[in-house]
Structure 1
Amino acid sequence: MPKRILQGTVVSSANDKTVTVNVERRFTHPLLKKTVRRTKKYRAHDSDNKCQVGDIVSIEECAPISKNKRWTVVAE
């Protein structure tokens, strides 16, 4: 089964080797028939501390690294 890859914006890089990525998804509301935006934050592993706040990155699903980290940064 392929690993999921999401794209989002880095909103925090305060922790060592960890970035917080805000991922936005858009869908049509079933009743209102209106496009709705939902965001979710993911913690991702950034081994080289390259990412800065505001960067657009791709993250890939991986095995758990810590309590909250289940994603790794693939590309900036």
Structure 2
Amino acid sequence: MALKERVGTVVSDKMDKTVVVAVQNRFPHSTYQKIVSRTTRYKAHDAENNCRVGDRVRITETRPLSATKRWAVLEVLSHSANLQEVPK
């Protein structure tokens, strides 16, 4: 059985070891054939807390890790350009 993979953008990294990834799906409307885009948000496991908001990531399906988390970050495809260090 092949696992599902998606490519999306990190929209939130406020949780510990979890990121929210928005995946945009573009398809033609069944009647009007105009291109429609639909966005789905997935919670994905980020074990090392590497991802930041704006990063482009590849996620894969995994076993349920919590009540809403069923995806894991495979790799960071590109980091966001507006990287800002947070003072500690």
Higher relative contact order (CA 8 A, sep 6+): 1
Residue by residue over 1:20-52, the C-alpha shift from the partner in whole angstroms, topping out at 9 and shown as x without a partner, is 000000111011110100001000000000000
In structure 1, runs of 5+ residues without a counterpart are none
In structure 2, runs of 5+ residues without a counterpart are 77-88
Identity %: 49
Give 4+ residue runs of structure 1 displaced > 2 Å after superposition: none
Return the structure number with greater strand share. Answer: 1
Amino acid at match of 1:13: D
TM-score (norm 2): 0.86
Alignment length, in residue pairs?
Answer: 76
Q: Secondary structure at the match of 2:70?
A: strand
What is the rounded CA distance, in whole Å, between the counterparts of 2:10 and 2:30 in structure 1? 30
What is the rounded CA distance, in whole Å, between the counterparts of 2:27 and 2:63 in structure 1? 28
